[in-house]
Amino acid sequence: LPQALLDEFMHDIAGFSPHIAERRFGYGMSPNVAAPASVTAMLDALRGPDQMADRFPIPGFRAIQDAQIIKHRFDVFARKDTTPAAEAVAARQKSRDIVHKFIQQRLRSFGQMQLRRIQGGDNFRERLVAFWADHFTAQGKMAMLKLAVPAYVEEAVRPNVSGRFADLLIACVTHPVMLEYLDQSRSVGPSSKRGTRKGSPRGLNENLARELLELHTLGVGGPYTQDDVRQMAELLTGMSRTRDYSFVFRKGWAEPGTETVLGKTYGARNSMEPIHAALEDLALHPVTARHLASKLATHFVSDTPPPALIADLTAAYLDSKGDLMALYDALLQHPLSWQMPATNIRPPLEYVSTALRALAVPENTFAGLRPKDTRTLFLRPLSVMGQVWQQPGGPDGWPEADGAWVTPQGIAARLEWAMNVPSRLLEDLPEPAAFLAMAVGPDAPEALKFATSAAENRAVAVGLVLASPAIQRR
């Protein structure tokens, strides 16, 4: 038999089903988009072109950089003592207009993200983008960077989810949004030219180095010491940004000499080469492999993933020298990935996306949403559910444990959203029995079937389906 047919046959034995594929590795079933036919099809789609990014584009970081330069000029002009009062007022207004434009763009990006999840036939990719964006959590802390998270994800994360982990790591760690978030852009080597300058207000900052070791690679409890953190922080000095937020390596800020991290010494500090070498080594560390395997299994399969699954994912990662496609292949090929019960609860944003996909909310609905509508229908409810969009509590991202989301307030907010919002998005809600069969599948609980059939109207019936554990868990 051809290998592709053999793969499909083996997965049928192991428990593959289109419904489980969409529920566990995507955003649930859609009445308009066919579910994947096999694991091979899922991996082939991920290797192929990113069709949803092309269809529903989100602007990259360059637009924010260009706008920041113009905004800065208006701000400087407005502050000059020689600027006439009326012209200063006008300049300040133009500066505010630039910010307002990108606030609107950020809200539009929410709709584009949802449309990718609603319309896409490659939702494993969308889930991976969300997973790695959370793994490499970064937020803008000042000025235009506060609006740059969609651009950061679009440029640093999305293009690298199907390549090498080392490339994803380098792209995220060196991105200006990450440098600003973890204060790396102001970190200066103590013995550097800038650090030894009399009266220099800047010194060494260990934030990025610590999170790089603790969160991005080796994990909490990894085999590193405080001295490793310090040495890594010194190694990372020189990475900064320009006024328009472009990345720049400042030789005069880099700590001179060599640094030793995890027993390996990195030399000459006149370029990014030793930093890239250290990141490559961290990416291929066996402890990094196990950390990533455990985190991926926890996210996609179970809060307490089987040790055998973690071991096999770790081996696949190391054998492939950090190839993420090999890691995903091992995840999707593993029988345990399909056999484990659906216990993980979807975080609020994922839950809302699953509901929107099941409802097949059309493209023109999002195109017609005003910023006020986006806030009212989505962002405020998400906040009440416990997940403020793109604002996790720290660099460790959003929690995976169900207990973080299963709270009285959070569950009540989900129920209220399910009962009220669908009818505001669709003129005609789907027929309840057909909607239940499509969204939940053949194993729909009898109690849910009865409750749906006995509901007083379609809005209540659809709300009951969307609020059910069958939808909320993966």
- Cβ proximity of 318 and 286 under 8 Å: yes
With a cut of 50, say whether residue 9 has pLDDT above it. no
With a cut of 60, say whether residue 24 has pLDDT above it. yes
Q: For position 5, what pLDDT does the model report? A: 47
% helix / strand / coil in the chain, to the nearest 5? Answer: 65, 5, 35
Measure CA of the first residue to CA of the last residue in the chain; give whole Å: 33
Residue carrying the six token digits 């990259």: 60
With a cut of 80, say whether residue 6 has pLDDT above it. no
* Close Cβ partners of 407 (under 8 Å, ≥ 6 residues apart): 386
Q: For position 367, what pLDDT does the model report? A: 84
| For residues 333-346, average pLDDT | 94
The tokens for 70 are 């113009």
pLDDT category of residue 12 using cuts at 50, 70 and 90: very low
- Residues above pLDDT 70, as percent of the chain: 97
Q: How far apart are CA 406 and CA 419, in angstroms?
A: 18
With a cut of 50, say whether residue 11 has pLDDT above it. no
With a cut of 80, say whether residue 167 has pLDDT above it. yes
Residue pLDDT, tens place only, 230-286: 999 999 999 999 988 999 999 999 999 999 999 999 987 789 999 999 999 999 999
pLDDT category of residue 13 using cuts at 50, 70 and 90: very low
How crowded is the C-beta side of 373, counted as CA atoms within 13 Å?
11
Q: For position 14, what pLDDT does the model report? A: 53
- Burial class of residue 260, CB neighbours in 10 A (0-12, 13-18, 19+): middle
pLDDT, averaged across the chain: 94
Distance of CA 282 to the CA centre of its chain: 21
With a cut of 80, say whether residue 199 has pLDDT above it. no
The tokens for 149 are 């998270």
Report which secondary-structure segment, H or E, holds 7.
helix 3-14
The interaxial angle of helices 458-467 and 432-440, nearest 10 deg, is: 10
Q: How far apart are CA 260 and CA 258, in angstroms?
A: 7
pLDDT category of residue 200 using cuts at 50, 70 and 90: confident
Give 164's strand partners.
323
With a cut of 90, say whether residue 218 has pLDDT above it. yes
Q: For position 441, what pLDDT does the model report? A: 87
* Close Cβ partners of 438 (under 8 Å, ≥ 6 residues apart): 29, 31, 358, 430
Q: For position 443, what pLDDT does the model report? A: 81
pLDDT category of residue 144 using cuts at 50, 70 and 90: confident
With a cut of 90, say whether residue 143 has pLDDT above it. no
| For residues 171-187, average pLDDT | 96
* Close Cβ partners of 85 (under 8 Å, ≥ 6 residues apart): none
- Cβ proximity of 245 and 176 under 8 Å: yes
The tokens for 144 are 């235009």
3-state secondary structure of 2: coil
Q: How far apart are CA 366 and CA 33, in angstroms?
A: 18
Phi, psi (deg, nearest 5) at residue 248: -145, 145
Q: How far apart are CA 349 and CA 347, in angstroms?
A: 6
